A and B are shown apart, each in its own frame.
Chain A
């Protein structure tokens, strides 16, 4: 007695339809989930959002950009909230840090650029995409400095991971920032800072000294805005 795949392919959707006709409509099901369940699901939803960022970014025509110099593990798990009117929150996970933003739409067409660069570096490219601006500087030895910024508005986030970087709180023109300084010269250090007044979050990634990175960051100025 045979049972072909074709027969099963034909019968299975019918079985599914009959199966679900015996169940209530999803919209008619109401269950008040417990706080314990809701809390566990919030963790899962947040984790899932992070894991699917590249797919979401593609769909939103936003930008997914990575500068990979190393990977690693942050062992601390904590939430470090800060700042004026709660525009951003930094969360520490086992393997990465995420900065999430919750402010109103900012000056997305504002253009920022550093006015100081170490000797020999020239702007190689600049890309302005919805929600993300990226500037790349390069010297003759092909060493790169990457500056990016995003508006600190609802739905925007920065995530970072590092194995060996040392973290240092810094001030960039009065704005709080964090420098993730790599001791390995082959790895990029990253500086993240948030300009609450401008509503912009900046990152600077380069294999440079602490002083040079901070100098570049402090030289970043608004170069153009149509608002």
Chain B
């Protein structure tokens, strides 16, 4: 028989997960709905995102901070794209192509950051998780629900596409 006694939380000490939920659920919904254009589907995507966040809550060091916001929005976007692909049943759609984007306008500066923003969402997500949030390939694979091999391939393709964009811009890389 196993038994625990514990203090769960006080009003002033809500769990990290609950803080993330309360702070970011609406922006996550906004992001998901930009892709799905359907409230119910967007809520489903947000729920799926929180299931993933719950599994990886230990990877969040601070509940409310820019990096956490970036992480949860990326996961919400990722789940919304998954649902979009499932709903449209376009089996031939490539993993990274023909998916509605968040329509983030680049600032036309032509620099590397601008090029990252012009990548397809899947490519942008993997690069931001890797190089902004600082997750390893293994962690990124888990966060995005991919095999490690698939994540590495996505990472390589993202960088390859990034080089092409920079070459088009004439940026020395």
Contacts and interface: CB of A to CB of B under 8 A. Distances in A.
A190 B14 CA distance: 29
Contacts of A31: 25-26, 29-30, 39
A51 B53 CA distance: 13
Contacts of A71: 2
A53 to B, nearest CB: 5
A56 B117 contact: no
Contact of A26 (B26, B57, B130): B26
Contacts of A7: 112, 173
Contacts of B26: 26, 29-31
A155 interface: yes
Interface in B103-154: 104-107, 111-114, 116-117, 124, 127-128, 130-132
A195 B113 CA distance: 62
A14 interface: yes
A172 to B, nearest CB: 16
A23 B50 contact: no
Interface in A127-160: 130-132, 134, 148-150, 154-160
A53 B6 contact: yes
A6 B68 CA distance: 22
Interface stretch (A82-90, A109-117, A181-189): A181-189
A81 interface: no
A22 interface: yes
B1 A63 contact: no
A40 B128 CA distance: 29
Interface in A54-102: 54-57, 59-60, 62-71, 96, 100
Majority secondary structure of chain A interface residues (helix, strand, loop or mixed): mixed
A217 interface: no
B2 A26 contact: no
Contacts of B167: 1
Given A20-B69, A29-B30, A52 B4 contact: no
A125 B143 CA distance: 44
Interface in B31-63: 31, 39-40, 43, 46-47, 50-51, 54, 57-58
A64 B7 CA distance: 8
Nearest to A164: B1
B105 A22 contact: yes
A15 B132 contact: yes
A37 B46 contact: yes
A22 B11 CA distance: 33
A45 B13 contact: no
B92 interface: no
A53 B2 contact: no
Given A12-B132, A19-B124, 17 more contacts: A18-B114, A19-B70, A29-B29, A37-B47, A48-B57, A49-B15, A53-B6, A54-B6, A56-B15, A57-B7, A66-B2, A66-B4, A100-B8, A132-B5, A150-B7, A157-B7, A159-B3
Please give me the 7 A-B residue pairs with the lowest Cβ-Cβ distance, nearest first. A62-B7, A29-B26, A12-B131, A14-B113, A12-B132, A11-B112, A15-B116
12 contacts: A1-B163, A3-B173, A23-B104, A31-B26, A49-B15, A52-B15, A56-B13, A70-B2, A96-B2, A154-B10, A159-B4, A160-B2
